[in-house]
Amino acid sequence: MSQQSQNLKVLLSLCDSGMCPALYTDPEGRVFVQGSKLASATRTDLGVPEHEEVVEIAPEIVEFIRSSVVS
């Protein structure tokens, strides 16, 4: 386990195994999303650089974020 992963706090996980959509935060307030990677062809079509990744975000995570925002 890397030092960075040890500092991540789970905000929301959609299962107990850790191998599913999840939302994390770190002490600096950054947010990390775990989700399914896009297909290679879709990444190419979008022009996503090799050093970046695009993931699918489950609707439950989006709703959690929406409900957590204080207006």
pTM here? Answer: 0.71
Please work out, in degrees rounded to the nearest 5, the angle formed at the alpha carbon of residue 3 by the alpha carbons of 18 and 10.
Answer: 35
Kindly indicate the confidence band of residue 1, based on its pLDDT and cuts at 50, 70 and 90: low
Domains of the chain by residue range: 3-68
CA distances 12 to 23, 34, 41, 42, 70, Å, are 5, 10, 29, 27, 17
CA distances 27 to 6, 20, 24, Å, are 11, 22, 10
Q: Which two tokens stand for residue 2?
A: 């890397």
- % the chain with pLDDT above 70: 89
Kindly indicate the confidence band of residue 45, based on its pLDDT and cuts at 50, 70 and 90: very high
Statement: residue 71 has pLDDT above 60:
no
Q: What is the pLDDT of residues 26-35, one digit of tens each?
A: 999 998 999 9
Q: Residue 66: its pLDDT value, please? A: 87
Q: How far is it, in rounded angstroms, from Cα 16 to Cα 18?
A: 6
